[in-house]
Structure formats: C-alpha cells, structure tokens
Structure 1
Amino acid sequence: MTKRTLIRCDRLFTGLEDEIRRDHTIIVEEGFFTYVGPASNAPAQAPGDTVIDAGERFVMPGLVDAHTHLVFGNARSEEDIDFWGTPEFRALRGLFFAQRVLAAGYTSIVVPGDAGNCSISVRDSINAGLFDGPRIAASSNVIANRHSLNDWFPEHVGTPDYVTGRLCTTRDAQIEEVRRQAKAGVDCIKIAMDGTHFRENGTHIAAFTQEEISGMVTEAHRLGKKIVVHAYGKEAVLYAARAGVDIINHAFFADDECIEAMLKSGSHVSPTLTFLRNNVDFCPSWEPTATSGYQGAQRRIIEVAKKTLNRMREAGVPFMAGSDSGFAVTPYGEWHAREIEILVDWIGFTPAQALRIATAGTAKAMPRGQLLGAIEAGRRADFLLVDGDPLADVRVLQQREAIDAVYLDGRLMSFKQRPYDAYKVSHFNSLKWTDVYSRERVAEIRATT
C-alpha cells in the first residue's frame, strides 16, 4: 500500500472557484491529489499515513509566474544579460535563483526567452532529481527581427550567437529557428513582435509581418510548442492574436480590434506590469532610469495600460500573471506576487479572481498545465500553507515569512536562504563614471559641496 499524506484544512482555496472551502481534507498519493473534499467524507487514516493539520493557515495551490527570466542574474543592463557570463555560469546561477523563486511560493515558472539552452539545462537537472526547484517551461533565444526587442545592440555589433536574441530576417530563417529550438527541447518559443521603433504618429511598428508571425506560430504548434510574444503596440498585438499565439506579454496599446482578435483566437494576455511599477516606485531620482527619461515614459505607459487592460478584463480576454523577474529592479524571489496585487489594484479583478489567474489560469502556460495550478483530484500536489488571508489582502503573498510551507509533488521543500555577492553573480559592467566632468559640470558640483 502506498503511503499517503492527509492535510486537514480549515481554509482551502482550490484555485478553481472564488469561495473558501471549510473543514476539508486533501489526500496526496505518489505526488498527486487523490481526494479533495469534506473531512467528514474523507477516507479513513491508515497505518503509515502522514497527517498534517493546517490549522488556521490558508491552503492554496502553488503559484505560477508566466514571465521569469531565469538566467538574467538580476541584471542591470542588456550588456549584463548578454556579454558578461558564460552559458555554463548562467545555467548554474539560474539553478541557484530558481530555488529562491520556489521558496517564494512559485512552484512553476515560464522562462520567456533565454540564452542558448540554459533554462533547458536547469529544467532537466531538476526533472532528473539532481536538485530541488520549481517546474520550468524552458525556452531558448528570442526570435528577433531588425528593430525588435532583443536586437538591441548597434547594427555593427549585430546579434552574436551567445546573446539572448536570435536575428531571423527571412521566413526561411524564422522557420528554421523554430525547428532548431523544438529539437533542442524547448517548451515555449518567444518572439519579439515589436520594440522601440515608432511611426511619426507615435504608434509602434511591428517587427514581423502577419505572414511571418503566422508561419512561425503554425510551425511551432505543429511541433507541439507554445508561442509567447513581446508586444506593446496595436499592430504587433493584432498580428500575434490573428496568428493564434498562446501568450501576449504586455499588449498595453491594444485596441478593440485587437481584443476581438484575442477573443477569437483564445490568446492570453500577461500584462507583466510589475517591472514597470517597480521602476516607477523604487528608483530614486539619480538612477539612470530617472535621468534618461525612461521612468517618466513608463509612468505614461502605465496610465494607458490600465485603461487597455481593464477593457480586456471586461471583454473576457483570459489573463495570466507574470512578473518579469530577473532584472535588478525585479530580483528573484522578491516581487513575483506583486503582479497579483496589480491585477486587483489596477485592472479590477477581485482578490479571488487574481489568485485564480495566478494559479490555475497561468498554469495553462506550462507543459501538461491541466495537471497543475489547482487543488483537485488527479492534479499534481503542488500547494502552499500561508500565514494570513490573501483573499483579504493579496499583498500577504509578498511577505517571505507568510509563505509557511511549500509542497511540490506532495513533498515539503526545505530552503536555506544562502547569502550571495550580487556583484559576483552579475553587474560585471566596466562602467567607471556616471557623469561627464566638463568644466561646467565640475563647477556645478563644487558649488553644491
């Protein structure tokens, strides 16, 4: 007889409904939930069973982050991401940080764009049982075109093979890259549908034509792979939705035509506003994000995004939750659950709806996602015990001490929050000055000191 674990729950949130279930029992056998129901009807405890009394702790499914850049190393710049770490070091560093993500209550993560096969390696080492870590939907290089995201270095530098972008300027090259990544073992493929190039009227220019994105999506889906896109502007969102991509990250400048196309295709939106909100809320006036005007631009984008995403919610577009973790402003294990707060505060979801998005909803981005994201018989036994009530205040999930226990496949995960030197895992840029010391600038400084 297999050994079972019985968890007695006074407060159970399954991820499939808005209401709390009271006085329930869940039973785990061989990594799966086999019973979820009233305690009065639960199978009797047998010799050898383990019994856990959750007491007043809030029992809920493990959280899922649809946007974690596992191998970026809390980077401060694109150069930090692409130039200063070998693929081998990035993979080892990614494994270390994956465990911090798991400790924050995130039992599954999607890596939307990577360098080489780093996240594939981390995923495989965890799946082989060599290390503990979250479930990972792995990817490879972001498929980029001229002037899209990830084609961010000057033309004379290009996009070397070791950087996160993979420049594909012809339809043949684009299809070949989809096939290469599928053979490498990715779970999802990311395409940079636009970047920072605009028309004179201020609208974003899509980096790929409708025919190009449709061709890549068709081939990826034929090979059983999901497609994730970066898309801010209307044109990019519209092309992506018409092509039937699985996840559209951002979609801040979408219009009603885009929303209609998303509803028709079933494409999910993952706003990923945590990155922008942290830049606005955290970065002081002397940070380059502020002095360059980047912070101000993000404030303006946020105001547009709130209106756009509220219209999407009202129309019934399906949402996912992603944080863009992996940058210096979104370090691993710190702010993943802030996206849940944003879904409530800015986009108008109730706390229960936001929790369902961050669990069962976002689990659809994972391989075999129908087995994840909810506490239901037949699903994988990934769940949390939380001190506090996220339905009263979703911000409790951002408190490290509130994540009392994390279970993956029914196994209690044990974490040692090992300290590390941030300047030895990333931040290797050789910048020595943040100012230009002209005579005028020197005079200004001396006048104020």
Structure 2
Amino acid sequence: MKTHVRCGTLFSAGDQEARSGQTLVYDARGILEFVGPTEQAPRAAPAEPVLDYSRQFVMPGLIDVHVHLAYGNAKSEEDIDLYSPLEFRALRGLFFAQKLLAAGYTALCSPGDAGQVSLSIRNAIRAGLFDGPRITAAGPYITARQSLTDWYPSWIGAPSTSIGRLVTNRDEAIEEIRVQAKNGVDCVKIALDGIQRRPDGSLIAAFTEDETAAMVREIQRLGRKAVVHAIGREAVLYAARAGVDLIFHAFDLDDECIDAALKGGSAIAPTLTFQRNIIEFTQPHDPAANNGRVGHVQRQYERACRNLAKAHKAGVPMLAGTDSGFAVTPYGEWHARELEIFVNDLGFTPAEALSAATRVNARFLADAERVGTLEPGRSADFIALDGSPLEAISILLDKSRIHAVHLGGKRMTLTERGYDPREVTDKALVNWSDVYTQARVAELRRDTPLRRAAE
C-alpha cells in the first residue's frame, strides 16, 4: 500500500528551489519512493490513499539541534538541577517533545541533560511506545571547575542530579566519555567555556587545548559526535582546532577561529534565539532586568551577529537551534525564530534558512541518512503549511499555519494540552526580591507608602 501526496508547492531541501505541481509517494513503512512532477508520478491504485495538499507548501519536517528536554522551561539553574527527580524530568520531557512535533519539528538534538533523561525519551519513542520527534541525545555535560554547569559553591559540589558531570582530570573526562558511550548517547557535550576572564574581558577556556583535543579524539573514536558550548574566542579556537563536530554559540570567534573551523570541518549553531528573547521579553520586575544581564546580552548579540555573519559568508556550516527549555524559550513556541534571525541578522536568504533547519541540520543527527530532505529512500517526514516561508519566513512561528505534520508518513494528531508551571518546574522559592534595610525601607516609603501588617 502506497500513499500519494499532491503538493501545491514543494521545497524538498535537495536544492534551493521550490517547485509547483509535485507529488510524493511513500510506502507502508513511510519511506519515500517517488518525489517529482505529478505528471510523472506513479498512478494511485484504487485502494491507495491520496492526500490533497494542493493548496499547501510542503517541505521536510523542521529540525532544532539545541533543545534541552530535561530543563522544563526553567527559570533558574536550581530549577534545572534540583527540584524534580530524574524520573519526572523524563516524563515531562516527553510531554514537551510532543510540543515540538506539533509545531512542525519532526527531529531534534538534546545536547546535554541530567542522567539519561533524553536517552530514555529517545528510546521510548523509537520503541513505538509514544509519538514524538526523532531525537539525537546526549548525556550530562562534561564540565571542569569554574566552567558552565559547575555553578554551585565548592563546599556543595556537583549534585548527582545536575546536568553537568564534573571531572577533575583528563582520566576522569575520558572515563565519563566511555560511560556515556556505553549508555548509548549519540553525542557528547563539553562545557568548554570558563567563567573566569582575562584583564581584557575575554573568557578563559575551561579546559586546555590538549585536554580538549584528547576528549574530542575519544568521543569521535567511539563513533559519537563531539559538541561544545563555547562563546569565548579561546574555547572556540580550541574546539575548532580539535575538529569538534558542532560548536554552540561561537559569539566571539575571529578570523583565526573561522580558518580553524573550515580546516577542521566544524559547524556552528549560533543559538541566538535565547539571547534575542532575553533582550525582548525580560520585564522590569525580572531579576535579569536589575542585574545588568539584558544590557550585557544586547552587546553580546550585536557582536555575535557581526562575527557569525562573517563566518557564514566564509562558508562555515550554520545549524539552527534555539536553546529551548528555559522560561524565555519555552518548548513548541520560538523554534523558528532562529530562522528569522538567520535571515534578518546573519545574511541568509529564506531558502538558505530553510535548508539550515532541514538538510544542514540533518547531517548532524543520528538519523542523518533518513531525514532532512524529501527524496527517494528517505523517511516521509514532512509538514504542509498554509503559506510560503520563502515569501515570509515568520509564518513558521504561526502554529495556525501548520496544516499537517507527518512523521514516517503518519499524520500526527497531538491534542493541545496546557499545564501548571508551578507543578512542572517553577519551584525555586524567592519570597523577597530585596533586602529591607532601614535605608531601603526609607527609600521605598518615599516612592510608595508601605502597607502595614494589620491591613
């Protein structure tokens, strides 16, 4: 039994063109057998279904390579690491993975989670227990002292429920890589940025260049992809020289980093949606509005766009990801915003942006040979849209425009379900937002009379 799909416009992602009057044909396993002009397509047998998307724009399912399924739309590091057991995080992550699928994202990479949360979600979906996107999964970040995810005081240490696995020497790092490979990860993530800065303000990498190269060699020797979090120039350079598969962020890269990335074959996923949302969505009452973070992120964003546009022009492959899983990047909401940023701020054409979120992203995934383009032999993962993102890339953010989502040929029908954030992740307690010294109370009283306890 074959299924025939009549497409109004088809963007197969095999090239930069969209074509009208096209048909897809896939078999009972959801594997494409024909992609091409309708007049050349095999005739449908009487019993075979024909899907009429002749008024829609059909394209491969979208891919986000930076989704943290274990975070739960967190507002703080404590929300991520401490207040929910791993078992609940896995169930919660599956729920949120389905939010992505409903938004047209048929595949994702979850690069760095606590325990085996993303692995468990991936395996449950692969086993057919639940509907959900195809998942490329990592384990906890490999982190060093004073690097990303080592954010608790030394007298507390790294909790076992943290998204970071603290290593204190090269042997521990190699052992952790081997444990994760044994557990079945698709990729291993290194927290390569440090939090210490030089007098000129530049970030000091958390690992030395030799340590970075040793970890990357072991990751790739075991057949896994190596990914890093690297904003600072030094970390980006170490990663590129080591031949890392994917660098997240790379905001402070320079010409030397670009040359190293081109030579070593490293790709970059800028993940600018997270920064853009912080700038635009932070409210005056949010702590981030009062600690200078928004201004810092604004300057960082502007610098990143200049540097990354240069890297794109030089030919460094750019992948699309959003850092979804935080309160400012909730699941299923802003994934296509990265494509808007690619077009508006990095110099991509809409077709290049669509290719980044499909064909280019797919090269990194565990399912690379099956997804990313619509061509014979690939999986029938596709979406049908009311409107063309080649004319207005922002329509991908409008969920009402998503006419249909197909995964392996099967049309996904996922019920929209709300949830209570206080029961899901928003559990870090903050009873007061200030320290009420006499001076502070006097200042507040000048602005607004304070309520008395008896009122």
Match of 2:88 in 1: 89
Q: Distance in 2 between matches of 1:202 and 1:445?
A: 35
Superposed, 1:269-308 pairs within 5 Å as 269-308=268-307
> How far apart are 1:388 and its partner, in Å?
1.3
Residues 141-152 of structure 1: pairs in structure 2 closer than 5 A: 141-152=140-151
- RMSD (Å) for aligned C-alpha atoms: 0.9
Shift of 1:355: 0.4
* Residue 407 (structure 2) pairs with residue 411 (structure 1): no
**Which one is further off, 41-50 or 180-189?**
41-50
1:440 deviates by 2.3
SS in 2 for 1:197: strand
5+ residue gaps, structure 1: none
1:47 shift after superposition: 2.8
Q: Distance in 2 between matches of 1:402 and 1:196?
A: 42
Deviation at 1:174, TM superposition (A): 0.7
Q: Take 2:8 and 2:187, find their aligned partners in 1: how far apart are those partners?
A: 38
Quote the offset at 1:46 in angstroms.
Answer: 1.0
Cα displacement string for residues 12-50 of structure 1 (whole angstroms, at most 9, x for unaligned residues): 001122211110111111111110011111011113211
- Paired with 1:325 and 1:338, the residues of 2 have a C-alpha distance of 11
AA of the residue aligned to 2:271: T
- Helix, strand or coil for the counterpart of 1:196? strand
- Flag as ranges the 4+ runs of structure 1 deviating above 3 A: none
Counterpart residue number, 1:371: 370
Read off the aligned partner of 1:66 and give its amino acid letter. Answer: V
Structure 2 Cα separation of the partners of residues 104 and 358 of structure 1: 13
Question: Which shifted more, 98-107 or 214-223?
Answer: 214-223
1:90 deviation in Å? 0.4
Residues in 1 aligned to 2:100 and 2:433: alpha-carbon distance in whole angstroms = 32
The residue identity in structure 1 corresponding to 2:429 is: S
Which residue number in structure 1 is paired with residue 255 of structure 2?
256
1:394 aligns with 2:393: yes
Deviation at 1:358, TM superposition (A): 0.5
Rounded Cα–Cα distance in structure 2 between residues aligned with 1:20 and 1:332: 29
Q: Find the aligned partners of 1:211 and 1:448 in 2 and give their Cα distance.
A: 57
Q: Which residue of 1 aligns with 2:451?
A: none
Cα deviation for residue 137 of structure 1 reads 0.5
Cα offset, 1:448, TM superposition: 2.5
Does 2:30 match 1:19? Answer: no
Within-5 A mapping of 1:336-355:
336-355=335-354
Structure-to-structure mapping, 1:95-244, within 5 angstroms: 95-244=94-243
Output the CA distance in 2 between the equivalents of 1:403 and 1:435: 45
Secondary structure in 2 matching 1:290: helix
1:194-253 Cα deviation digits (max 9, x unpaired)? 132211111110111111111111111111111110000111011101111110000000
Q: CA deviation at 1:447?
A: 2.5
Shift of 1:445: 2.4
Name the CA distance, whole Å, in 2 between partners of 1:282 and 1:24.
41
Q: In the aligned structure 2, how far is the partner of 1:65 from the partner of 1:160?
A: 28
SS at match of 1:175: helix
2-structure distance, mates of 1:368, 1:132: 17
Deviation at 1:286, TM superposition (A): 2.2
Between the aligned partners of 1:447 and 1:402, the Cα distance in structure 2 is 51
1:8 deviates by 0.7
Q: Percent identity?
A: 52
Please name the residue that 1:360 is paired with. Answer: 359
Which of 4, 7, 21 is matched with 2:5 structurally? 7
Question: In the alignment, residue 263 of structure 2 is paired with which amino acid?
Answer: K
Counterpart secondary structure, 2:276: helix
Match of 2:440 in 1: 441
For residues 164-192 of structure 1, the C-alpha deviation after alignment (integer angstroms, 9 at most, x for no partner) is 11111211001101000000111111100
Q: What displacement does 1:441 show?
A: 2.1
Query: Structure 1, residues 404-440: CA drift from partner, whole Å, max 9, x if none?
Result: 1110000000111111101100011121111111222
Mapped partners of 1:181, 1:120: distance in 2:
10
* Deviations, residues 282-335 of structure 1 (Å, cap 9, x unaligned): 111221111011111000101110110011011000010000000000000000
SS of residue paired to 2:339 = helix
Q: Distance in 1 between matches of 2:384 and 2:279?
A: 32
More displaced, 290-299 or 15-24? 15-24
What is the one-letter code of the residue matched to 1:65? D
Which amino acid in 2 is paired with 1:67? H
Counterpart residue identity of residue 118, structure 2? S
What is the alpha-carbon distance in structure 1 between the residues aligned to residue 264 and residue 46 of structure 2? 51
Does structure 1 residue 46 correspond to structure 2 residue 39? Answer: no
Work out the CA distance in 2 between the residues paired with 1:68 and 1:77: 16
Q: Which amino acid aligns with 1:57?
A: Q
- Aligned-partner residue type, residue 7 of structure 2: C
Aligned-partner SS, 1:212: helix
Structure-1 separation of matches of 2:33 and 2:214: 42
- DSSP 3-state at the match of 1:6: strand
Which piece of structure 1 moves more, 28-37 or 436-445?
A: 436-445
Partner of 2:205, secondary structure, is coil
Return the alpha-carbon distance in structure 2 between the equivalents of residues 446 and 182 of structure 1: 59
Q: Which amino acid aligns with 1:107?
A: T
* Pairs within 5 Å for 1:55-94: 55-94=54-93
When normalised by structure 1's length, the TM-score is 0.98
Deviations 1:344-365 (Å, cap 9, x if unpaired)? 0110100000000010111112
Write the distance in 2 (CA, Å) between the matches of 1:434 and 1:224.
48
Distance 2:441 2:359 in 1: 57
Aligned residue in 2 for 1:427: 426
- C-alpha distance in 1 between matches for 2:119 and 2:208: 29
Q: Which residue of 1 aligns with 2:31?
A: 32
Question: How far off its partner does 1:162 sit?
Answer: 1.5
CA distance in 1, matches of 2:82, 2:173: 24
Q: Secondary structure at the match of 1:269?
A: strand
